[in-house]
Structure 1
């Protein structure tokens, strides 16, 4: 690892401990688990189906766009996880006790952050008035993963970037069709 990479990792670990340290409040693990649950995947499918059912004008387009964008994001996410193979903080540091059981072994990028930012992007595209709450919730889902001890801050930044990039590509491809 070169000097720049070492500095980035050191900064990331320091930032992680700063975030994880705030999680020591008794209520934070419970709140973080609840918020993180929203990013597990089922929430997006149920929400997409509900929007398709309730919004006659744009609901079906929203659901289909979501399926399309997630079909772009998910394989890239899985490839990156296996290619990078970064240990989770709870696996690397003895003093980090995860507040949940991670869904897989590696941390970079955060799949919860990627999915949350895909969903926020889709909501913002189809329902611009929901942009602020959508991105706020996506950010909270991503941060909850750090507070739970299963991701570094750069994992969630990479996940957010993946989600946003997948959304831009997917929505632009849909517009071309």
Structure 2
């Protein structure tokens, strides 16, 4: 476990230093798309405008997030991994994180859950959806609020919840 944590920290420093002295506005924007409001907007628009799968997409999404959010909160509060910006010296994050702990990444979990749902209901958008979800996860490391391992755990959580949810439907 110690070697894994050291590798996670080393990769974090390498990725974070790519943006150390640069303008991060576009990275902040990518991260902001993972805040959650976009998911409800997409679901609502599809429910309203797309009669074939829109309603089912919205209901599947609501059910999936009803599972994902509590599991994410339980994991985060029980694992209590400090954010890199809070425990590494000489490091200032480019944003203020919304909570204290980093594992798993909630933005990444939600983004991969949404990408999985989009991919299931609208397969032609799969590449775009997963590319966007990956960008959301990477943005969290570039901004200094998550380790790469947090992103991997978040992606696994989002994909796992989505897979479970879609098996119900």
Q: Which interval holds the TM-score relative to the shorter structure?
A: over 0.9
Indicate the SS of the match to 1:34.
Answer: helix
Q: Does 2:51 correspond to 1:56?
A: yes
Number of residue pairs matched by the alignment: 169
Q: Does 2:13 correspond to 1:17?
A: yes
Normalised by the size of structure 2, how large is the TM-score? 0.98
Partners of 2:118 and 2:147 in 1: CA distance: 26
Q: Which runs of 5+ in 1 are unaligned?
A: none
Q: Does 2:22 correspond to 1:30?
A: no
1:115-156 alpha-carbon deviations (Å, 9 max, x no partner)? 000000000000000000000000000000000100000000
Partners of 1:59 and 1:51 in 2: CA distance: 4
Partners of 1:96 and 1:38 in 2: CA distance: 24
In structure 1, the residue matched to 2:78 is 83
In structure 1, the residue matched to 2:160 is 165
Indicate the SS of the match to 2:141.
Answer: helix
In structure 2, the residue matched to 1:117 is 112
Q: RMSD of aligned C-alpha atoms?
A: 0.8
Q: Which runs of 5+ in 2 are unaligned?
A: none
Q: Structure 1 residue runs of 4+, over 2 Å off?
A: none
Q: Does 2:66 correspond to 1:71?
A: yes
Normalised by the size of structure 1, how large is the TM-score? 0.94
How far the C-alpha of 1:94 sits from its partner, in A, is 2.2
Partners of 2:91 and 2:127 in 1: CA distance: 32
Q: Does 2:2 correspond to 1:6?
A: yes
Partners of 1:173 and 1:95 in 2: CA distance: 47
